[in-house]
Amino acid sequence: MLSRLNPLTTLAACGAAATFTVAASNWPVSVAVAVAALGAGVGAGVLRRVLAASAVILLPLWFSLLVLHGLFFPEGRTVLAGWGPARITVEGLAFALEMGTRTTGCVLVLLLFSFVVNVPDLVATMTTRRIPPQFGYVLASTLTLAPAITEQLARIRQAQEARGLVLGGSLVQRLAAARLQMVPLVLALIQDAAERAHALDARGFNSPGPHSTYREVADTRGQRTFRRAVLGLAAAAVILRLSASWFGVPVLPSPLAGNE
Amino acid sequence: MSQQSLTLPAPGAAADKKRRLLELLGAASIAATFIFLVLAQPSDITNGVGSASTLLALGGFLLGAILLILGVLPTLPTSTLVLIPVALVLNIALGQIMGTTGLPFYFDAIGTVLIAVLAGPAAGAATGALSSIIWSFFNPTVLPFAAGAALIGFLAGMAARYGLFRRFYLAPVAGFATGIIAGVVSAPIAAFVFGGTSGAGTGAIVSAFRAMGDTLLAAITKQALISDPMDKAIVFAIAALLVYALPRRATFRFPFVRRFNVLAGKAPVAAS
C-alpha cells in the first residue's frame, strides 16, 4: 500500500515523523514511533530488510551509549554501583535510554522510507518540481551504480589474483594489494564517467529551462492535503519545543527533568 | 533540434547571482549554527536531553548543506557532475577495500577528496553534502553530518587549489589541518543529536574523557581532535596516491587541474 503512494507523501510522512520524534525527545513517544514504523514495515512487506539494515546501525550505537553513559556520567547523582571512576547512575542510564530510543525511532522511520520508496518515481517527481535535475541524476545514478561497482571490484580482484595477487600477509603487502585493486577501479570509473558525460551532453541534460519526464506519477488531492497536514504538524512541534526551551514552558516533561 | 539549443540564451547574470547567494546563505547557515551551538548555548545536554539544541543543530546544518547543493549543483559542468555518483560509491567501496587491510580507520571521504582535487572546492563541497544525503538512504545516522562532509570537500579543494597536492608529503599535512576543523564542527552533532559516538574505539576515548569529568561536548570534541586529523591525513594521502597513479590524460581532462596546476607537471603532449 505504502509503495503505491506518491513518493512525496511517503517522504513527508516519514520526515515529519522523524522531526516529531526529535522535537518530542521523550522516550515513550520515540518507542511509539519505532513501533509504528515497524508496523508499517510489516504492512509494506519490508520488515526484514528494515530490521537487517537498522541492526547494523543501531546495535553498535546502543552498545556505545550504554557503556559511555551507563558507566561514565559525572553529572549523575543516584549511584547504583561504582568501581573507581566508573559509576552506574540512574541519570546516566536514563540519558542513554532517551538518546537511544530517539535515534532508533528516527532511523527506523527513515529506513522505512528508503525501502518503500520507488526511486524512479521519486526522481520523476523531483524533476517536475523545481529541484535541479542534477540532484535526481546523482541520486538515481548512485543507487544503480553501487551494485555495478561492487561487481566490477570483484572482477578486478579476480583478474589481479589470476596474475598472482595475494590478499593478506603483512601490512605492507595488504596495502600493496589494496593499491592494485583501487587504481584500476578508479581509472575505469573516471573513464566511464567521461563517456557518460558526452552522452548526457548530447541529450541536452545541462540545458537551462524546465525538464520534462516520461514518467507520470499519480498524485491525489487527498495526498496533497495529507502532506500539508503532517508537515504543518511537524513544524508546530518544532515551534512548540523551541518556544518552550526559550521561554521556559515545559511541554512534555522528560523523565530526566524530575531527577534534577 | 541541436541548432535550436545552440541559440538558447545562456543563463543570465541574475541566475548566477541567485546561485552565489544560495551558496553564501548555505555557508552562513552552517557557520551561524556552529557558532550558536558552541558559544551561545553551552548549557550541557546531559542536564536533560537538549531537544531545542538538537533541532537547531539538525536544522541549521541540514539547511546549509541543502542550500549549498542547490547553489553549486546547477553550475557544475556535466563532466564533473557524472563524477559525483562515482565519488559517492567510491566513498563506500574504497572504505570496504581499506576495511580488508584491517586498519582501525574509517576512510569514508576518499571519493569526496578525490573529486575535490580534480574538480575544485565547490564540487568537493557539493559531493560531500550529497554523499551524506544519499548515503542516508542506507544509514540515516550520517545525514546530520552533511555539513561536516561538505566542509571536508571544500577544504580539500582549497588545498588542491593552493598547490598542497603537488608534493606528496604536503597532502597529509593538509589532511591533518582539515581533520582538526572538520572534527570540531562535527563534534556538536555527535553530542547533541546522538549523545555519543557509535564506534567502539572512539567510544572508549570519549568514556576516558568523561571519567575525568569533562562535559559531553568537551569529551566528544577532544575525541574528534584525536581521531579525525589522523583519519583525514591518511585519506588525503590515499587520494593523492590515487591521483598520482592516474594517467595524465585522465587528470588533465579537468579544467581545475589545468588551471591551477594542481598536480605539478606538464600536460600530456596529445592534450596540449
pLDDT (tens digit per residue) in A69-82: 888 887 777 777 77
Q: Is B119 left (phi over 0), alpha (psi -120 to 50) or beta?
A: alpha
Distance, CA of A129 to CA of A205 (rounded, Å): 16
Structure confidence by residue, pLDDT tens digits, B86-133: 888 888 776 666 656 656 566 788 899 999 999 999 999 999 999 888
Let me know: does B92 contact A146? Beta carbons within 8 Å.
yes
Domain holding A85, by residue range, is 2-117+219-259
pLDDT of residue A1: 62
In a domain, A214, yes or no: no
Examine the domain organization and report whether A59 and A165 are in the same domain. Answer: no
pLDDT of residue B48: 53
**Out of B48, B55, B210, whose CB is closest to A72?**
B210
In a domain, A212, yes or no: no
A209 touches chain B (CB under 8 A): yes
pLDDT band at B216 (very low <50, low <70, confident <90, very high): confident
Examine the domain organization and report whether A154 and A103 are in the same domain. Answer: no
The answer to whether A135 contacts B69, with C-beta atoms less than 8 Å apart, is: yes
pLDDT of residue B267: 65
CATH domain B78-257 topology = Arp2/3 complex 21 kDa subunit ARPC3 (1.10.1760)
Total tally of structural domains belonging to chain A: 2
pLDDT at A240 exceeding the cut of 70: yes
A44 touches chain B (CB under 8 A): no
Domain edge (last residue) among A176, A202, A228: A202
Top pLDDT among A85 and A18 is at A18
Percent of chain B with pLDDT over 70: 82
In a domain, A23, yes or no: yes
Contacts of B134 in chain A (CB under 8 A): 138-139, 142-143
A226 touches chain B (CB under 8 A): no
The answer to whether B77 contacts A181, with C-beta atoms less than 8 Å apart, is: no
Handedness of CA B94, A145, A199, B73 (dihedral sign): negative
Structure confidence by residue, pLDDT tens digits, A81-105: 777 777 788 888 888 898 899 999 9
The answer to whether B47 contacts A175, with C-beta atoms less than 8 Å apart, is: no
In a domain, A123, yes or no: no
Owner of C-alpha cell 511517503: A10
B12 touches chain A (CB under 8 A): no
Distance, CA of A240 to CA of A237 (rounded, Å): 5
In a domain, A211, yes or no: no
The answer to whether A75 contacts B114, with C-beta atoms less than 8 Å apart, is: no
pLDDT of residue B47: 55
**Out of A24, A191, A254, whose CB is closest to B48?**
A254
**Out of A25, A57, A183, whose CB is closest to B139?**
A57
Examine the domain organization and report whether A232 and A105 are in the same domain. Answer: yes
Distance, CA of A233 to CA of A92 (rounded, Å): 31
Residues forming a β-bridge with A82: A87
Instruction: Give residues with Cβ within 8 angstroms of B130, minimum separation 6.
Output: A135, A138, B69, B73, B84, B88
The answer to whether A191 contacts B250, with C-beta atoms less than 8 Å apart, is: yes
Examine the domain organization and report whether A90 and A195 are in the same domain. Answer: no
Structure confidence by residue, pLDDT tens digits, A94-139: 888 988 999 999 999 999 999 998 888 888 888 888 788 888 889 8
* Residue A18 CB coordination number (10 Å): 24
